[in-house]
Structure 1
Amino acid sequence: MYKRIITTVMVAMTGFSVASAQQTEKSVSEKDENQMTEKKENAIVRGYKAIENGVVKGYKGIENGVVKGYKAIEDAFVDTFFTEDPRESAESAEVNAESVESAEIDE
């Protein structure tokens, strides 16, 4: 009879151990699933951030190019219409100097 009680207790303990092991396995499996899900979510977030950064950098590059283009057009316009050609100014300075000299000689 004692043998039967001991056997029953051992079987009960073994059953408890098996159930405990299965529960542990489930919790480990759930943790692994949660970690994998979290890793996937992090990868997706990193992907979206990379796309966003690329779009922002592209937009800033285009914006800088447009600004530089308009600046070049503006500089060319100002140079063409509002500043004198250095060669012409040097020639006009010589002509003005000659005019002044001839005016002094005439007096």
Structure 2
Amino acid sequence: MGTVQLAVSKLVTNAYKYAPGPCLLDLEVSESAVQISVWDTDPALPAACPADPGRAGQHNLEIIMAVCQSFEVRREPVGKRVRAAIVPADDPGGDPAGRLL
């Protein structure tokens, strides 16, 4: 649950921070994964910044890509949609089940 909350927070924060208009959040929960979808009005596709240990901030996309089983971004007729899937953890240590390495 914590990983899902983190991913939702990062995706919605990015939409709020960089898109000029509203955003929509959609969550779908199945037995195998939680699908997160965030739509916003900015057509610019996000890109991860080059690695820089001295950089403060702008790590949201890197975090999302590290904790999600799948991640995709696509342009919509208005704006863009970001989708990510998180597989629930199997153990108390929080290792994601079925994560693609």
| Greater gyration radius | 1
* TM-score bin (small chain): under 0.3
More helix by share: 1
More strand by share: 2
Q: TM-score, normalised by structure 2?
A: 0.19
